[in-house]
Amino acid sequence: MLVFFKKMPLPFFLFVILVMSACVTTKRPLEQPVALEKKAPTESPKPNDSKGPSKDPSKDPRLDLVIQQFQRGIRLLAQDKVQKAKTLFETLRNDYPGVSVFHSNLGVVYKRLGRFEDAMHAYRQAISIAAQSPGGDYAEAYYNLAIVLREQGLFKEAETAYLRALSIDPDFQDAHFNLAVLYDLYLNEPERGIHHYQRHLALKKGADEEISIWIAALEKRLKIEKGQP
């Protein structure tokens, strides 16, 4: 999932640092937004502001401050200090509207605040920005969007978003799990649910007895419904 921003005022060096410097790492018992992209872009963006960074990205005087602000926002999210994270990420988004990860993290913030329309808009903005370049798909933004859509009762739209995330990253373990839950509990398509539960297990490191038992129960239920012994 490569992200190359044609009109981003920050240098490529900054974006790589942001993606690699911090991540909200929380256990996901069911559904939990991913706050950062997993991979950095491989092409360097072209600054287009007249007061832009120096030719050497490492000498950009704004770099350290933006990185510090970004890392602080990640810590605030991890500490559930959502209002403070909102203020910080809105400032970063306004200052650097061409950086998709700022929009995506605002989506996480807005969702936690119950501002679901704003969250969906933020995720769609992140997707739109990433799509401006070849190969610039953003699986995590689709994943996060799907979670909000599901919570709003928009189950088919959520399915589409999860499938889009998996078309970009077929090994996206959490997307397989959440899509399995969607098929199983909301769309009444247990066979598809079983498939994605199994993909989740195949990608997971270590056994998961609870999900294995649940799959067995689903398979047994399907056999009974089909009149099979």
Looking at residue 47, what is its pLDDT?
27
Average pLDDT, the chain: 77
Return the domain boundaries, the chain.
1-152, 154-229
pLDDT at position 219 over 60: yes
Phi and psi angles of residue 163, each rounded to the nearest 5 degrees, phi first: -65, -35
User: For the CA atoms of 94, 48, 74, 28, what is the dihedral angle to 10 degrees?
Assistant: 100
CATH of domain 1-152: 1.25.40.10
pTM of the model: 0.74
Residues 4-33 have a mean pLDDT of: 40
Looking at residue 34, what is its pLDDT?
42
Confidence of residue 37 (pLDDT cuts 50, 70, 90): very low
CATH of domain 154-229: 1.25.40.10
What b/e sequence results for 135-173 when a residue is b if at least 16 CB atoms lie within 10 Å of its CB, and e otherwise? ebbbbbbbbbbbbbbbeeeebebbbebbebbbebbeebb
Residue 4 CA to residue 135 CA, distance in Å, equals 8
What's the pLDDT tens digit per position in 69-90? 888 999 999 899 999 999 999 9
What's the pLDDT tens digit per position in 100-128? 888 999 999 999 999 999 999 999 999 99
End-to-end Cα spacing for the chain:
45
Looking at residue 171, what is its pLDDT?
96
Confidence of residue 27 (pLDDT cuts 50, 70, 90): very low
Residues 33-54 have a mean pLDDT of: 32
Q: Are 1-152 and 154-229 equal in CATH topology?
A: yes
Q: What is the 3-state secondary structure (H, E, C) of 177-224?
A: HHHHHHHHHHCCCHHHHHHHHHHHHHHCCCCCHHHHHHHHHHHHHHHH
